[in-house]
Amino acid sequence: MSINSKEIISEALFELMEGKSYESITISEICNNTSLVRKTFYNNFSSKDAVILYEIRKLAAEFNKNIVSVGETSPRESAYLFFAFAKGHRKIMNILLDNNLFHVFSAEFESFLPDSNTIISESNIMNLDPNTTSYISAFHSAGMVRMLTIWLENDCSTSVSNISDIYDYISKKGVLNSPC
């Protein structure tokens, strides 16, 4: 499998999605937008969905590398890294949103968002059973992804720093106590 061919195919699909819905794009159109033949497409990907997943996994690997290089972070720092990363890749994020594919992004990225141990230690909640901590982690990661969706839909009008502060406040005080 040629990484170059994968990149060419991925770029072609995302270019097409800028002006056309994902559902209406065919493999032939993707190939016509490149110098590649259908056989090359199928040597690299099984479907359009596999191309989307490839691109999202590249983003996830890049984000993970950023998180690992920073080390352990607070929920606010994690939020800042997440929103800054998303803003840097806003074009792809918006294409995914516009084509109802953001759920694929969400599923991949939730594993990289603040884990429950960081949130729990920041909140001074101790001795919780594993089910409770997994619920807390799911709540926070889903909340952060939903905040990202709304933030992107609002053209990232709130600064990365402010949206991170909002997330941090909510994660520490709860939604009902939010000043927002």
pTM of model > 0.85: no
CB contact at 8 A, 118 and 41: no
> What is the spatial distance between Cα 98 and Cα 101, in angstroms, rounded to a whole number?
8
Residue for token pair 């694929």: 104
Q: pLDDT tens across 122-180, in order? A: 444 556 777 777 777 778 788 888 999 999 999 999 999 999 999 988 887 765 554 54
> Both tokens of residue 39?
């056989």
**CATH classification code of 1-45:** 1.10.10.60
Q: Say what the pLDDT of residue 129 is.
A: 75
Pick 172 or 47 by higher pLDDT: 47
Per-residue confidence band for 66, with pLDDT thresholds at 50, 70 and 90? confident
User: What is the Cα 60 distance to its own chain's centre?
Assistant: 7
CA atoms within 13 A on the CB side of 32: 6
